[in-house]
Amino acid sequence: MAREIVSDMDGLRRTHYCGEVALSDVGSQVVLMGWVNRKRDLGELVFIDLRDRTGLVQVVTESKSTPASFEVAQNVKSEYVLAVRGTVKKRAPGMENPDLKTGAIEVQADEIRILNTAKTPPFYIWDDAGADETLRLKYRYLDLRRAPLQRNLEIYHRTSMAVRNYLSSRGFWEIQTPMMTRSTPEGARDYLVPSRIDKGKFYALAQSPQLFKQLFMVAGIDRYFQIVKCFRDEDLRYDRQPEFTQIDIEMSFAEEEDVWGEVEGLVKYVWKEVLGVDIEPPFPRLTYQEAMERFGSDKPDTRFGMEIKDVTPVFSGSSFGVFRSAIDQGGTVRAIAVPGMAGASRQEIERLTERAKLHGAKGLITVAYLGGEVKSQIRKYLTDEEIAGLAQATGASEGDLVLIVASDFDTAVTVLGRLRLELASKLGMIPKDRYNFLWITAFPLLKINEETGRWEAAHHPFTSPFKDDLDKVRPDATDEEKGKIRARMYDLVMNGVELASGSIRIHRRDLQEKVFALLGMSQEEARRRFGFLLDAFEYGAPPHGGIAFGMDRMVMLLAGAENLREVIAFPKTASASCLMTEAPAEVEPERLAELGIILAKDVKRS
């Protein structure tokens, strides 16, 4: 590239953003700075679409009237950085471009300076992505030039500002907490940071500021929030990144309704500020138990019906083996009615059955109500009363297909819950532009870890149990009792996505110790790991509770984005690497030596 065609700004000052030159500017001199989106060279006449984050404006130059700028324009190529000084002209009738915000005008260039040249980009900087995501991630700074991504980053910014404005107006203080902290063995895997000064010891990158924010309450901060990065070393999903951002909130002297009220106000404010959409709190509340019963999920999508029904009573006298044994073993028979699917082919039924098995069912029974007939692989086992009862219980009518799973409760509702989502999506039953917020409450305090067979905190070990269940908070509680302890925990769910999760915390040392003991933690262990918290509780800890939003996830929903990578500036891939910086990367042996780290021989090195 000939460097001599590049000039300096030399005092030239931008007067307008490209997308903001308007009809009202006609006749005035403007100075624009931006990137060449496209050049259209018609010989003695050149058009350049100049782009910045606000949009495009057409710059025009011709050999006869503006020879100086015309000469420069001929050397211009895509993605060159230009400064353009010129006059805003109204376009002649019939020459406007209605697709462009600035389509009614154009800028006649008196002077064009090339501030920098550019290689041909590896992919088009157009609105639709087109290129493979691998390539786009490698050249993320070019991908971020695209309007849709810039729009998402702007939405992220506006969301941040709305959150800060609202919470500040409600008396919350934004205070930072350490990123480098102590590893907490529960929950997600930690990212570890070796200590140079104290070799052999490690910090962990914070999975959340949980303990710090509780200590703020002990400190009398009363109301705290933070927009904060959190780190969890777990496998990624379209809506999960290893480093992500939370809106972390905690308040003193608060019970459930206090937290929910603040959150509902925040959500209403953010949706209005960012999307101009009115959300009407209070949000419906559903217990965990009810959510599982009706939707087979603790984050139900309530934008459509097709709820799960208990049809155990219908089949209580059934002779059909699958129903019989499920019921006799204390299990249940559950069903959903899929509208208009009675005509499903044998192959479609087969596919559904496969899905059901994938989700953990032993099989799937279907009953089709079609043309006054009843079609089912277990037709001969069904009595007329059962057929009528099934239709009655599920609300199935002519043309519907009823899916039945007989199993233990969890499997039955989970399987049907997943099929419900898959089918609703496939059948186009999910209305767009709906924001169905709801609270899920009264979660179980503990859940059993399938791998270790041990009981663990469902949320985290600082969650307060229900008062009525405190009698079961004993180290010698039976499994049945442990499973029944309810937690003062709540999730904010929208359209089937968990947006926020929180709880009323334990604020007394004795109860906290009991819960640690319930989790099988010895006193010594509890003291070693959480001694500072237990100590703090002895110095006047106020009752408190809070919540944390998945900020990126929220922006993803606000932006209508498909995945988190569309709203995070520099995201990681599914294997947690950054294709642009090529992180993670090996480090110099000296660095490791300094940290007292020796790599095991068998670690994979490329």
Size of the site for RNA (CB under 7 A): 66
For residue 53, CA distances in Å to 57, 114, 420, 496, 564 come to: 11, 19, 42, 33, 21
Q: Which is nearer to RNA, 367 or 419 (CB)?
A: 419
Phi, psi angle pair for 273, to nearest 5°: -65, -45
Subset of residues 316 to 375 that bind RNA, contact rule: CB under 7 A: none
Joined tokens for residue 432: 């767009």
Should residue 594 be labelled a site residue for RNA when binding is judged by CB under 7 A?
Answer: no
**411 to 470, contacts with RNA by CB under 7 A?**
450-451, 456-460
End-to-end CA separation in angstroms for the chain: 36
- Binding of RNA by 141 (CB under 7 A): no
- Can residue 133 be called a binding residue for RNA (CB under 7 A)? yes
DSSP state, 190?
P
Q: Which stretch binds RNA (CB under 7 A): 62-70, 196-204, 344-352, 592-600?
A: 62-70
Distance of alpha carbon 552 from alpha carbon 156, whole angstroms:
8
Q: Report whether 224 contacts 250 (CB < 8 A).
A: yes
Pick between residue 134 and residue 380 the one whose CB is nearest to RNA.
Answer: 134
Give alpha helix (H) positions in 447-569.
Answer: 479-484, 509-518, 523-537, 551-559
Choosing from 68, 122, 127, 348, the residue that interacts with RNA (CB under 7 A) is: 122
Q: Can you name the residues that pair with 192 across neighbouring β-strands?
A: 204
Judged by CB under 7 A, the residue of 5, 9, 95, 192 near RNA is 95
Considering only residues 238 to 267 of the shown chain, the ones binding RNA according to CB under 7 A are: 238, 240
Please give the backbone phi and psi of residue 379, each rounded to the nearest 5 degrees, phi first: -50, -45
**Residue number with CB closer to RNA (10 or 450):** 450
The binder of RNA chosen from 1, 574, 593, 597 (CB under 7 A):
574
Q: Give CA–CA dist 295/308, Å, rounded.
A: 6
Would you give the DSSP letter of residue 381?
Answer: G
Binding positions for RNA, 543-572, rule CB under 7 A: 563, 565
Choose which of 148, 187, 194, 261 interacts with RNA (CB under 7 A).
187
What is the x/- site pattern for RNA, positions 31-60, by CB under 7 A? -------x-xxxxxx-x-x--------x-x
Q: Which of 104, 135, 221, 511 binds RNA (CB under 7 A)?
A: 135
Distance from chain centroid for Cα 342: 35
Q: CB–CB of 398/368 below 8 Å?
A: no
In eight-state DSSP terms, residue 191 is P
Q: Are 123 and 141 in contact (CB under 8 A)?
A: no
Q: Looking at 23-31, 183-191, 250-258, 301-309, which segment touches RNA (CB under 7 A)?
A: 183-191
Describe the chain by its helix, strand, coil percentages, rounded to 5: 35, 25, 40
Which of the stretches 89-97, 302-310, 392-400, 423-431 binds RNA when contact is defined by CB under 7 A? 89-97
Site residues (vs RNA, CB under 7 A): 38, 40-45, 47, 49, 58, 60, 62-65, 77-78, 91-92, 95-97, 99-100, 103, 106, 120, 122-124, 130-135, 137, 184, 186-189, 207-208, 210, 232, 234-238, 240, 450-451, 456-460, 563, 565, 573-575, 577, 579
